[in-house]
Structure 1
Amino acid sequence: MFTPARYVIVDDNPDELKQLSDCMQKIGAPCLPLRYDQAEGIETKHLGGVRLLFLDLHLTTGAQSGSIAQTAGLIVSMLEEGIVATAGPYVIILWTKHQEQKADFEAYVMENLEPLKRPLAILSLDKNNYLAGDAGEKLTNDVGQIIETDPRLRALLDWEREVLRAAGSTLSEIGTLVAKEDRTAARFSERLDEILSLLAFEAVGDANAKADPYSAINAALMPILTDRIANQRTDPKSNAIWQAAVTKIAEVPQPSPRDAAKLNSMLHIARASTEALEPGAWGAVTLLPEAELVDDVMIKRFDLPAKPMLAGTFCLTDKAERSASRLCLLRIGASCDYAQSRKGPVPFVLGAIIPAEAKRREGLPKAEIVTPPLIIDGFDGPVRMIFNTHLQISLVPTEFAAWPALCRLREPLLMQITTYGARHATRPAIISFGSHGG
């Protein structure tokens, strides 16, 4: 129910933990202070959504004089257990009396921590500068400055803040639909229920809203949230933040083929490991099971035998590349039919997942559309998906319910494919004659 803490402090000294915690509160960054216990450690689940992680370098007594591997190894174990690779980038800020060990600590972490859990940067604050007298104001200023040290981090935090502000504005807009006379202890919550129920019903219909009210409300609110994120920027500092963070537009580096495929996948592919994905979901891509790849089944469905399909229909000329390719189905159809769980056969289009640079013969079918290079789980290296929009079939859910979905195409790419298929299927033709003369 609660959002994971974005700012976390870990220290074994309660006084120094409080000092830094109070400073963070003063600059408007609510943080979670965690006192490290030598016997129990900390509850590492609190690191699951961290953006700024303030760490005392030496969390155990007597570790100061030993090898950096002792103290850094303890922290790496803590990060391995607590950092969630899919939660986004974070920065470590060492809160330490031993600044001279920062470089060795950074080298150890970057060498020993799982790559997807490594921090964007490791910065540091010297405790010695703040322990004498009233150093609260200096600490407050220095923390604010060090947060701004990395412009990329500052920009990402700015974007996340704008998203949270857009979400808050969207929720506020829902709240304004409750009339003043209904804003009472007895009526406010009930009236909000009525409004949410109405939104859910109108978004996806009665049956679907009852089965999955979260998705129904999401369908109604997502366009509002997206519009707010895109258009609400009012902070005059925001543009300067992004100008400092994004500096290579005039000389954009050319990505490697694999990096390009990763970027395309981020934009266009939702992995099955990140969501509850069913083969009948709109945009789901499902590999055809081996039992379906026999001639009698394929001929019945597509009027084509299975064995020569990769060479014939999908025009692959290299035997090894055909062996690395797989036939698949893409769930297409009208988005409203899917949203309303309309009963009846479900439409699919046949495709193939092939190596991105696979050799293909000339004269490719006009009915096909090819995706950009992508990284797909289960395939070595970048791949492309080819869909032949001429080869569309309909299946009832009992025929495909047990097939595991591989991934889902996000809406922009899915709509490009379905729109292309619709244009190809309805292309006009006329009979015409020309003279045989000059």
Structure 2
Amino acid sequence: MIEPDIKIIAVDNDSSELTRIVKTFNKLRISCFPIEYNIGDEIEEKYSNVRIAFFDINLGLGNPSDSDLCNIISSALKEIIDRNNGPYALIFWSKHTAKVNLIKKYINEREKENIPSPLIVETIDKALVIDDEKFLIEIKRILSNSTLEAMFDYQEKVKKAAAKTINSIFSLIPNDTDKWGEHEAFEKNFDLVFSKMASNTLGRELAVKKPNLAIQRTLFPILLYNIQKESLSNIWEYKMKALKKEDVLKFPTNFNINILNSIYHIHYDSSLTKDERGIIIKMNMNTKHFTSVFGKKKDSFFRDFFDFKKANKGQTEEEFETMIKTFLNKIEPVFVEISAACDYAQQNNRACKYLFGIKYPISSNVTLRKSDYTFPTPIFAIENVNFQIIFNFRFVFGYSITNGVLGQIKFKLSDDLVNQIGNRYANYTSRIGIISH
């Protein structure tokens, strides 16, 4: 089924005004989805990934008071635009554009957490844009905003790259015996071509088990190549002025790089299984079992990874020890699956290889000890909790996926990060030890 791809919406209680907006965008060969909306209407499904939203200021209530007007607009925004919409421009299209500052103040004070904040807020005064030509000029003015242009530029280039990827493969599928308008030979060969490509990419056993993943991996190199071929507009050079100034080239103080790390390297969906390469699984071991495997009790073993410092000069030894124990109690032992990529791809019969690690919260009073037998991940952030995982190359286990030691699936690390871990582990295990007499 084709998913809706609505990037621009127009919201008004007057259908004739909506028609006018849509026709103006049509002149630019750009789609705009009209939403006829009156106060109190319920939207069946909120709109997501909208990049431009035109909103009338009033939506059909005669001459409301300022407080009523602010409530009407904030309610409409909540009802129509999904909270996790992403970046967008909000354009107030109305004869009441003087009320925009009141609306912004109202939302900031009462609804800030419930309505996605627009990157751009603009106005078009209906009273001043009477003829279509002036309206077209105003639309072009809105679209020329550099931030908006950059957003659309990359998004559209990726769509073009995806279309080229599909076209390049489909053009190779034989359909010699089909007459114009027929597709029997094409359908049969479609099956053969994509099935064989999926098998070659991921290995037949794994491709049978995960056909969607196989096709994604099959098409990704072609898609990436086509994305790289698509030249971005010069707007990106204009927007990245700090790139040329080394002294200011750093993330803003309120930018959470840990969330960015999570976007790059942490993936989760309900289909993940315990034999997947890169899967992070909580370890289930009672105290006695842990001690027999690792030679120490948990607290003592975990302490060896860290250096601790007092929170302040006045902190007593008892308070300091309590702080350490509190930190240690928050540590979660985990495994990461690091089987050879070829074994995983071919779904060879094997005991999965699990590398031991600990997932711990970030604390300003705790420093990670560096060593050649450990691998620390970047710092991640999930649900406002900053954490890191450190893997220990001295403890690698072979388990079947039904072993009770393997607990809850947490998430999956990116292939890039798992490859780094595997490479470091291989280097560690291949070191030559020298004994002299």
Q: What TM-score do the two structures reach when normalised by structure 1?
A: 0.85
Partner of 2:302: 310
Partner of 2:116: 117
Shift of 1:13: 0.4
Structure 1 pair 77–335 and aligned structure 2 pair: CA distance change class (3 A): farther
Q: 1:417 aligns with which of 396, 416, 421?
A: 421
Structure 1 pair 362–229 and aligned structure 2 pair: CA distance change class (3 A): closer
Partner of 1:228: 226
Structure 1 pair 8–261 and aligned structure 2 pair: CA distance change class (3 A): same
Partner of 1:295: 288
Alignment pair present for 1:27 and 2:25: no
Partner of 2:313: none
Tell me if structure 1 keeps the 8 A contact 2:283–2:335.
yes
Partner of 2:138: 142
Structure 1 pair 86–283 and aligned structure 2 pair: CA distance change class (3 A): farther
Shift of 1:346: 1.4
Structure 2: gaps of 5 or more residues = 309-323
Letter in 1 for 2:210: D
Tell me if structure 2 keeps the 8 A contact 1:60–1:71.
no
Structure 1 pair 120–103 and aligned structure 2 pair: CA distance change class (3 A): same
Superposition CA RMSD, Å? 2.7
Q: 2:105 aligns with which of 104, 107, 114?
A: 107
Letter in 1 for 2:170: G
CA distance in structure 2 between the aligned counterparts of 1:327 and 1:19, rounded to whole angstroms: 61
CA distance in structure 2 between the aligned counterparts of 1:89 and 1:248, rounded to whole angstroms: 21
Partner of 2:61: 61
CA distance in structure 2 between the aligned counterparts of 1:7 and 1:40, rounded to whole angstroms: 20
Structure 1 pair 382–116 and aligned structure 2 pair: CA distance change class (3 A): farther
Task: Count how many residue pairs are aligned between Structure 1 and Structure 2.
Answer: 414
- Counterparts of residues 383-398 of structure 1 (less than 5 Å): 383-398=387-402
Tell me if structure 1 keeps the 8 A contact 2:77–2:115.
no
Letter in 2 for 1:356: I
Shift of 1:169: 0.5
3-state DSSP of counterpart to 1:94: strand
Tell me if structure 1 keeps the 8 A contact 2:85–2:116.
no
Q: 1:188 aligns with which of 186, 189, 199?
A: 186
Structure 1 pair 77–116 and aligned structure 2 pair: CA distance change class (3 A): closer
Structure 1 pair 180–190 and aligned structure 2 pair: CA distance change class (3 A): closer
CA distance in structure 2 between the aligned counterparts of 1:30 and 1:400, rounded to whole angstroms: 54
Shift of 1:357: 4.0
Alignment pair present for 1:175 and 2:166: no
Partner of 1:97: 95
Letter in 2 for 1:324: K
- Counterparts of residues 267-306 of structure 1 (less than 5 Å): 267-270=264-267, 272=268, 276-289=271-284, 292-296=285-289, 298-299=290-291, 301-306=293-298
Shift of 1:92: 1.2
3-state DSSP of counterpart to 2:381: coil
Shift of 1:303: 4.9
CA distance in structure 2 between the aligned counterparts of 1:402 and 1:60, rounded to whole angstroms: 59
Shift of 1:366: 2.0
3-state DSSP of counterpart to 2:53: strand
Structure 1: gaps of 5 or more residues = 434-438
Partner of 2:319: none
Partner of 2:336: 330
CA distance in structure 2 between the aligned counterparts of 1:391 and 1:145, rounded to whole angstroms: 61
